[in-house]
Amino acid sequence: MSATAGSVRPVRPANWGQRAAWWLVSLIVVAAFWSVRIKWSALLDFPGQSAKYLRALFVPPAWHKAGEAFSSMILSVQMAWFGTVLGIVVSFPLSFLAARPLAPLGVRLPLRGLFAIIRAVPEVVTAILILSVTGLTPFTGALALAIGSIGTLGKWGYEAFEAAESGPLEAIRTSGGGMVALLRWGVWPSSAPEVLSFWLYRFEINVRASAILGLIGAGGIGKMLQDNVQFRNWDVVGMLLLVVIIVTMAIDQISGAVRVRLVSGRWELPLVRRLASGGAPRRKGLSPEATPPG
C-alpha cells in the first residue's frame, strides 16, 4: 500500500555546521577542564578544613574590634558613595549623547566604545594604574570606583533613554521644542525611575567593590582585612566579615526599598517581600532586585 503524501515525514536536514560548532565547543571545554591542575584529593579534606577555619573565625569573633571594624567599613562606604556620585555626574550627560534618538552616529559610537572599554577593565586594575599618581589612599579607591561607574551607568543610561516612550518625543518635535525641552519633558519623565534605580544599584556594587579595593591598600575594611589575614588573626577576620555582611545587607535592604518606591510607588523592604511571597520572584514590570542590563 503506497503511503499518502500527508503521512510521509519530511527528512530533517543535517546541519553539519551547527554540529561541528557544538563538538568544537565541547572539546574546548573538556580541554580547559583537564588543563587545570586540580588536586581532587583536596576535596575530601574541604569539609574538615572549612569547619576548622569557621571555628577560628567565629567561635568567638573578636568583639573588642567591632568599633574599629565599623569605622573602617564606614570609610569603605564613603569611598563607594564618592565614586558613585562622581560617576553619576560624568556619565549622566554622556548617556544622553550616546542615546540613539538624541545624538548623531558620529557622537554615539565613540561614547559607546568608551563605555565598553571602561567596563572591560576591573576596578582593581584601574586602582593599580592610578595609584602611581594618587598613592595608596582611599581617594585612589574612590576614583577607581568612579571610573568603573562611568562605564556601567553610561551604558544603562543610554539604554534607558532609548527605551523612552516615542509619543512625547514626537509631540515635542512637532511643536518646535528644542533639545532641552526634548530631554526635560520627553525623555527624562519616562526613564527617570529606571535610571535612578540603576544609580542606587551601582552604589550597592561599589560598596562591595570598595572592600576588595582595600585589599590592595586603598584603605577601608579591605585594608584592615588584609592586615589581619596576613598575621593570621582569624578572630579579628571573623569580626570584620560580620561587619561587612551586616552593613552590606543593611545598605542592600535600604537601597532596595528606595528602588521599589521609585518603580512601584510604595515602600517595601525586599527581604520582607521575599518572605511574604514565599521566595517567588515577581515577573510584572521592572523588578527592583533584578540586575540591570550589561
Is there a domain that residue 169 lies in?
yes
Residue among 152, 145, 161 at smallest CA distance from 86: 145
Is there a domain that residue 151 lies in?
yes
* Confidence at residue 276, expressed as pLDDT on a 0 to 100 scale: 60
d(CA 168, CA 189): 10
H-type helices in 36-65, by residue range? 41-58
pTM: 0.75
Is there a domain that residue 3 lies in?
no
* Confidence at residue 148, expressed as pLDDT on a 0 to 100 scale: 94
Task: Note whether 259 and 201 are within 8 A (CB).
Answer: yes
Q: How many domains does the chain have?
A: 1
Cell of 266: 510604595
Task: Note whether 83 and 143 are within 8 A (CB).
Answer: yes
Domain boundaries, position 66: 58-276
- In 3-state terms the chain splits into helix, strand, coil percentages (rounded to 5) of 75, 0, 25
* Confidence at residue 163, expressed as pLDDT on a 0 to 100 scale: 83
Is there a domain that residue 289 lies in?
no
Tens of pLDDT along the chain (294 residues)? 555 555 667 666 667 878 888 899 988 888 877 777 777 777 788 888 888 888 988 988 899 999 999 999 999 999 999 999 999 999 999 998 998 878 888 999 999 999 999 999 998 899 888 888 887 788 888 999 999 999 999 999 999 888 877 777 677 777 776 677 777 777 788 888 889 989 999 999 999 898 888 878 777 888 898 889 888 899 999 999 999 999 999 998 888 888 887 777 666 666 656 556 655 544 444 444 444 544
* Confidence at residue 286, expressed as pLDDT on a 0 to 100 scale: 44
**Which CATH number fits the domain that encloses residue 167?**
1.10.3720.10
Task: Note whether 212 and 38 are within 8 A (CB).
Answer: no
Is there a domain that residue 30 lies in?
no
Is there a domain that residue 140 lies in?
yes
Is there a domain that residue 105 lies in?
yes
